[in-house]
Amino acid sequence: MDVLRLLLLAALLPGLFLPGSVIAGRKQYPADVGLATVILPGETLRISTPVITLATAPASAQVHITVTAINTGKRPFILRPGDFMLAAEGDIFGQIGAQPASLTGAVLPGTARSGRLTFLVPVAALPDAFFAYQAERRNVAARIPLSWLSMAVSRANATPLATITEYPLNGGVGDPWGTAIDASGDIWFAEPGCDFAPTCSSSAPPGQIGELLAGSHALRFYTLPDITGNQPIFLAIDRSGNIWFTMPNNSMIGEFNPSTQQFVGQWPVTPGSGPWDLTFNKGMIWYTEHFVSSIGEFNPNNHTHRDFPTPSPNSNPYGIAANDPVNGDLIWFTENNSSVARIAVLDIARNYQIDEFPIRAQLPSDLTPHLLALDYRGFPWWTEGWVRAIGELNTKLAIPGQCGTSSGDCRGVTEYYLPPPPASCSSSHVSGIAIQGKQLGWIDDSLSAQVGSFDPYSKQFTLYDLSNCNAHPHDGLNLDASFHVWWDEEFANALGELIQ
């Protein structure tokens, strides 16, 4: 048999290739939905969509793949142990147990053999893994990438194993809120010492910036200068590693230098604007002005600022995200007021124009878009606060300023509803959100005391209940470089970590 020079990659992911089809030269051959079909000289492989479950071994997964080998040629061929493998970065992962007898031995012309293969694979290797068919004696080769399936865990078979650790913040002023993670893996957090509702008392003492050291988990606290309203809420880290933070109560933005362990300074923005969530984009700080209807731009070099009002009044912007992977000039934010409830974007390249995208044709009284994050396509995802759901905006379909429908979700908007909260902790407020590459969205619910993930391909949630119903995991949800999930527990005065 001639050496196969054409690698045939079949579709396993909507949006990357054509689902349920196969590419072979310039022809497309239909395949069953959920299967990949590879056409080879004299034979055809039909490969099921892998089912991945977490294994009992630490940080490992079992990958189950059903393969059917069909002899479409005129001569028999033989399937041998070792013909099928999973590999990543040049490393090969072994099968669990012997290759099934039903998938071993001679395959006569016009017949087929089928069997289920199971591989034990490190979870960290799944994003780069390939399922490979390599029969050296016959010079036949094919491979299919599993990349995006790395966390597509079978909910029907098992709930993913996870380790949750909580770190009490003893010695701080309490009420941790926003978090940021530096290049060393240290967790930085804002501790206002009060609950913004939406402000703190004018008599509240200064808050703190806290640091949980990676590895040792030792704590450090840095108390802000004794200025009225000096309670931090959200954090962001610049390229030099300095910590920037917002203070809604006195409408200021501050800077802290971890190297010197000193506060560099703090500077006023528009009085009464309530600077809230913040992010960096092209060296500038962008922040929501939660007490009014604007977002702001702050220059960290000369400490000047500009305000950009939203088209809708009374919008009360909350969460903000930048560094759009498709268009770096876009600044996305939520409009939190339930009477507005929109997703908005400022375009620097279009003279700072702001477009707003309605979420629903008719607004309920409890829809309060909260925090948001951007996926690899530049699509915003957001939590919906008092509505137990998250939302996604398809920027290719959504119409600025228009809903496009008379009922339900507006064009380009999809809302995904979480399962009901546990009976023992039955209230709900979906708060924090973070995106893990192409694979998962992570969220927390402050009132049901849950942290969990959303699989964008299976559309399934996996939720983990915290031991303390009053822990209040809130706006500090974050991911470190190892994809460990971190969050604040505002009323338990702690930080939480989840490792899968």
What CATH number is associated with residue 406?
Answer: 2.130.10.10
State the CATH number of the domain containing residue 95. 2.60.40.4170
Q: Looking at residues 144-149, what average pLDDT do you find?
A: 52
C-alpha–C-alpha distance, residues 289 and 277, integer Å: 8
pLDDT tens per residue across span 386-401: 999 999 999 999 999 9
Same domain, 121 and 179: no
Does 93 share its domain with 186? no
- Same-domain status, 140 and 169: no
Percentage helix, strand, coil, to 5, in the chain?
Answer: 5, 45, 50
200 with 274: CB under 8 angstroms? no
Task: Give tens-digit pLDDT for 474-498.
Answer: 999 999 999 999 999 999 999 999 9
Using CA atoms, how far apart are residues 13 and 457, in angstroms rounded to an integer? 8
CA 90 – CA 456 distance, rounded (Å): 29
The dihedrals phi and psi of 12, each to the nearest 5 degrees, come to -120, -5
Domain count, the chain: 2
Same domain, yes or no: 175 and 76? no
Question: Does residue 7 lie within any of the structural domains?
Answer: no
Q: Which of 27-31, 306-310, 432-436, 443-447 shows the lowest mean pLDDT across its residues?
A: 27-31
Q: Could you tell me if 245 and 234 are in contact, meaning their C-beta atoms sit under 8 angstroms apart? A: yes
Rounded to whole angstroms, the Cα distance separating 379 from 396 reads 9
Report how far residue 202's alpha carbon sits from residue 229's, in angstroms, rounded to the nearest whole number.
Answer: 6
Instruction: Give the number of C-alpha atoms closer than 13 A to the C-alpha of residue 8, restricted to the C-beta side.
Output: 26
- The band of 96, judged by pLDDT with boundaries at 50, 70 and 90, is confident
Domain span holding position 109: 21-149
